[in-house]
Amino acid sequence: DTAVSQTPKYLVTQMGNDKSIKCEQNLGHDTMYWYKQDSKKFLKIMFSYNNKELIINETVPNRFSPKSPDKAHLNLHINSLELGDSAVYFCASSSPGRKNTGELFFGEGSRLTVL
């Protein structure tokens, strides 16, 4: 019954590879996000989709490409992985009508390690 679920939870890969992280929410929310948490635990927004439409695209390398097939899913594809991409990536969603209150619901995170 996980509200926001991400897969995989752990991902170890070589530099230069391409990988994807998937996210699904069953809360009926219409807005979903990807956040990156670095080794110092700082959380930074990367992307946000509202009803499958990209609404936030922070200064992120274009090797990162989000895709939202429907409002319950938001995937993140990363091309040509670099060492600096190692981090924990969190998916989150927010409730319709409360999008400006910041009440985000987070997944458990996907820890990406690039060797």
Q: Site mask, other proteins, residues 27-66, x = CB under 8 A?
A: ----x-x------xxxxxx--x-x----xx----------
Q: How far apart are CA 27 and CA 14, in angstroms?
A: 34
**12 lines the binding site for other proteins (CB under 8 A):** no
Interacting residue with other proteins among 11, 74, 76, 104 (CB under 8 A): 104
Q: Which is nearer to other proteins, 27 or 45 (CB)?
A: 45
Give me the least distance between CB of 107 and other proteins, in Å please. Answer: 5
Q: What are phi and psi of 84, to 5 degrees?
A: -70, -10
Q: How far is CA 26 from the centre of its chain?
A: 16
Q: How far apart are CA 112 and CA 27, in angstroms?
A: 25
Question: How is residue 81 annotated by DSSP?
Answer: -
Q: Which is nearer to other proteins, 38 or 82 (CB)?
A: 38
**4 lines the binding site for other proteins (CB under 8 A):** yes
Size of site (CB under 8 A) for other proteins = 27
Name residues whose C-beta falls within 8 Å of residue 52's C-beta, 6 or more positions apart in sequence: 68, 69, 70, 71
